[in-house]
Amino acid sequence: MSILPMRQIDADVCVAPQLTPQAMAEAAAKGFKSVVNNRPDFEHDSGQPTNAAIEAAAVAAGLAYRFLPVSGAYQSPEQIAQMAVLLAELPRPLLLFCRSGARSTVLYQKALSA
């Protein structure tokens, strides 16, 4: 059974809700090359795994990993520009995640227009 609930938003980009460290091995097995975490640590959920724990698992699985935490309500022009840089430099396929996948989708779309 998959622990990687994801939705494709572009040819080589998917989004997902909060992922666990254990999901990183599955992401690599499914062919993803990079993961971007858009959820700040300790956001509304005491059971949320930390960025450090997810990053360690991603690196162990051979994935490129970046942490670009953004608010669900607002992404600054600087954050949008940072995402555009990540989109240009990270190997694909790319998996973005946040609490539900919605802010990662919005950030991705804004970065494409930047």
For residue 38, name the pLDDT band (cuts at 50, 70, 90): very high
What's 25's domain CATH number?
A: 3.90.190.10
**Is the residue at 43 inside a domain?**
yes
**Is residue 90, in this structure, part of any structural domain at all?**
yes
Comparing CA positions, the residue from 66, 51, 41, 43 lying closest to residue 21 is 51
Q: What is the pLDDT of residues 54-96, one digit of tens each?
A: 999 999 999 999 999 999 889 999 999 999 999 999 999 999 9
**Does residue 1 sit within a domain?**
no
Q: The domain containing residue 33 runs over which residues?
A: 7-113
Cα torsion 108, 41, 43, 48: sign: positive
Judge whether 2 lies within some domain.
no
Sign of dihedral through CA atoms 47, 75, 30, 89?
Answer: negative
Separation between Cα atoms, residue 23 and residue 41, nearest integer Å? 17
Report the domain count for the chain: 1
pTM: 0.95
Q: Identify whether 103 is part of a domain.
A: yes
pLDDT digits 0-9 by tens, 13-32: 999 999 999 999 999 999 99
Asked, for residue 30, whether it belongs to a domain, the answer is yes
